[in-house]
Amino acid sequence: MSPEFTLRPYHPEDRLACYDVFFEAVRTGAARAYTPEQRAAWAPADGFTPETPDKMLDMVAFVAEHPDGAGRIEGFMAMERNGHLDRAFVRPGWMGRGLAQNLYDLLLEWARGAGLTQLTTEASHLARPFFKKNGWQVVTPETITRDGVEIERFRMSLAL
C-alpha cells in the first residue's frame, strides 16, 4: 500500500462514503464469487437510509483515505468492542494491494490493547482467504437468506 494513504478513525460524516465503498466492493468486487442476484440482495440499491442509526459509531472503526488529498474513502473496517469484526471492505481497485491489511492491522492492535482473547467474523468467499492468511480458522460455513436469496459465508475466529 502506498504510504500516503491516511488511515484514521471513522467519523459520522463518513457514513455515506463507507456505504459507497461497501456497495462497490459487493456489487463489483464480489462478482467472481457471487451471482448478480446474491450481490443485489447483499447490497441493495436502496440499502442506504440516513434515518437508520449508524451502528459504526458504537464500533472501533477505521477508514483509509486516498492519497490525493481529496479525502475519498477507499476502504474501511469496523469491529464491535467484543471482538466481532463486522465490516471489512475496500474498493475493487484496491483489493489485494495491502489496503485491507493495513486497516486490519489497526484493528488487531486495538483488540490486543483492549485485552481481547478472541476475534470472530462472518467472512465472504473473497474475505475468507484474507483472514486465513492472517491466522483465522473457519468455524463453520453457513448460508444466510436475504430477500429470499441464499448467500454462503463462513464463521471464522482468531485466538489472540
pLDDT at 70: 76
Which residue ranges form the domains of the chain, and what is each CATH number? 6-116 (3.40.630.30)
Secondary structure of the chain: what % helix, strand, coil (to 5)?
A: 35, 30, 35
Lookup: cell for 119:
476475534
Instruction: Output the pTM of the full model.
Output: 0.93
Distance CA 40, CA 47 (A): 10
Query: Which cell goes with 48?
Result: 442506504
As a whole number of angstroms, the distance between CA 146 and CA 143 comes to 10
Residue 47 confidence (pLDDT): 87
Task: Please list the rounded mean pLDDT of every run of 10 residues in the chain (160 residues).
Answer: 77 95 96 96 90 93 87 95 97 92 96 98 96 98 96 97
Report whether 106 contacts 79 (CB < 8 A). no
**Residue 1: predicted pLDDT:** 44
Contact 1, 101 (CB under 8 A): yes
